[in-house]
Structure 1
Amino acid sequence: MKLILQEVSKSFPGKEVLEGINYTFEQNCLYALLGRNGSGKTTLFNVISGQIRRDRGEILLEDGGERRPLTSSDVFMMVAEPELPEFLTGYEFLKFFIEANADRIQEPASIEDYLAQVTLDRADALRLIQDYSTGMKNKLQMLMFLILRPKIILMDEPLTSLDVVVQLEMKKIIRSIKEDHIIIFSTHILQLAQDLCDRIILLHGKNLHDVEEKMAREEGFEDKIIALLQEEKSQEDGHDGE
């Protein structure tokens, strides 16, 4: 299975963010997406998920030898601060979510089984979501894509504000499902990208650039990436001043 971007571009008034991106993401590979704040990582995710329209280009899914346009039902986007109905308990929310998506769930399980997948105990599940920590909310969000099993999972800095225990739990889950999905993991933490992901991509200069696997494992990797991104920023500042 492949996610194929062909000449994908997106601009906003006075600023081009993505320019002619050509890239192919493959199944069974965790991709880390690195870039400076404002480089366009979230914009890229929003374009892929269909939340905003691209200006031009194509986004295709190749599966089982067939290639077709990507649809919103193929994608799940996980965000750092999920907005969930806080007037419901975690259990009530999952029950509602399962019922609302019954036609998309291939192998339904009991709510208790789903809760066990993210080590969320029943007592916590019966609490109102308004009383949940960010980590607990993210566990519910993770359950949403574990239930739906979308072909493509986009993670927009989902581990940044979590404690180390929850981070470790989520890392294990992410690794355990990569064989069946295309997973792109946006982060600004270089160490996390190295530890968790198979491939590292930089979004800079409005385009995607592979980081050589050898370079990603070398000593001084972080310094090299920082220097590259700072160089890009300097060039942009110089261009703006012309």
Structure 2
Amino acid sequence: MQVVIENLSKSFKEKNVLNDLSVTFDQGIIYGLLGRNGAGKTTLFNLIARELENDQGEFYLVDGDEKLPLKLDDIFLMLAEPDLPKFLTGREFIKFFIEVNEEKIKDLKDASYYFDLVKFLDEDLDRLIQDYSTGMRNKLQMMMFLILKPLVILMDEPLNSLDVVVQKEMKDLIKSIKSEHIIIFSTHILDLAKNMADEIILLHQGKIQKVDKKIKDNPDFEAEIIDLLKA
């Protein structure tokens, strides 16, 4: 399965953010999306997730020789700063989330299974979300896509708020599920992109550029990426 984006453009007043952008993403690949501040990474994610309306272009799926629509249920957008209901506990929120989405959840398991997957501490289950750190709220977001199992997972700066131990746990978890998904994550951290992504792509001057895999394994990786983003 592939997600295809063709001729995507988006402007805000006089600023052209995405310019006739075309790219194909394959299932089973984790893509690390790099770009300078203001390059349009979050805009791209919001367009794919239909949070914004594009000026032109289309998104669709390709399954073999078949062209299919990319539906909202196929997509999960994980935000850097999730806005979750503050006056529910983590346990209450996940219970509510499962009840609301039960009809479209395949192979539903007990909530405790998902809490264990993200290594959520028992002592935090019944605390209010308003008292959670950003990292803990991001764990709840991860549980949401683990429950829904959407084809496309978009992660906007997903691991920046996690400490190094939890970050490693979440990287391993994301890698373990990649065969079932198309995963694209944006980050400013070059080491994270290098260690977590199968392929690195750059968003620069409104277009996507795929980085040669040889650069990823090059000792001068950081310098070469910076040079590409300065060009």
TM-score bracket, shorter-length normalisation: over 0.9
The equivalent of 2:224 in structure 1 is 224
Alpha-carbon RMSD across the aligned residues, in angstroms, is 1.1
Aligned-pair CA distance for 1:52? 0.4
How far off is 1:226 after superposition?
1.2
Worse-matched range after superposition: 178-187 or 113-122? 113-122
Residue matched to 1:190 = 190
Rg bigger for which structure?
A: 1
Provide the residue aligned with 1:149 in structure 2: 149
Q: Kindly state the Cα deviation for residue 65 of structure 1 after the two structures are TM-superposed.
A: 4.5
Letter in 2 for 1:114: Y
> In structure 2, what residue type is equivalent to 1:230?
K
Q: Distance in 2 between matches of 1:63 and 1:92?
A: 38
- Aligned-partner residue type, residue 51 of structure 1: E
- State the one-letter code of the partner of 2:74: D
In 2, the alpha carbon distance for the partners of 1:93 and 1:67 equals 36
> Which residue does the alignment assign to 2:107?
107
Superposition pairs of residues 1-242 of structure 1, within 5 angstroms: 1-63=1-63, 65-231=65-231
- Distance (Å, rounded) in 2 between the aligned partners of 1:173 and 1:180: 13
The Cα offsets for residues 52-110 of structure 1, whole Å up to 9 and x where unpaired, read as 01111110012364322212111001111111101000000001000000111011111
Q: Deviations over 1:8-27 (max 9, x none)?
A: 11111001111111111000
Report the Cα distance in structure 1 between the residues aligned to 2:73 and 2:193, rounded to whole angstroms.
Answer: 27
Amino acid at match of 2:189: I
Counterpart code for 1:227: D
SS at match of 2:119: coil
TM-score normalised over the length of structure 2: 0.97
The two structures have a TM-score, normalised by structure 1, of 0.93
Structure 1 CA distance for aligned equivalents of residues 186 and 63 of structure 2: 24
Local SS of the residue matching 1:101: helix
% identity of equivalent residues: 55
1:158 match: secondary structure: coil
Shift of 1:228: 2.4
Q: In the aligned structure 1, how far is the partner of 2:152 from the partner of 2:63?
A: 12
Q: State the distance in 1 between where 2:115 and 2:191 align.
A: 29
Residues 58, 69 of structure 1: 8 Å contact kept = no
Between 104-113 and 142-151, report the one with greater CA deviation: 104-113
Indicate the SS of the match to 1:168: helix
Counterpart Cα distance in 2 of 1:159 and 1:173? 12
Q: Distance in 1 between matches of 2:218 and 2:63?
A: 35
Q: Cα offset for 1:5? A: 0.6
Gaps of 5+ in 2: none
Contact 1:112 1:122 in 2 (8 A): no
Deviation for aligned residue 1:197: 0.6
Size of the alignment, in residue pairs? 231
Which stretch of structure 1 is more off in the superposition, 219-228 or 165-174?
219-228
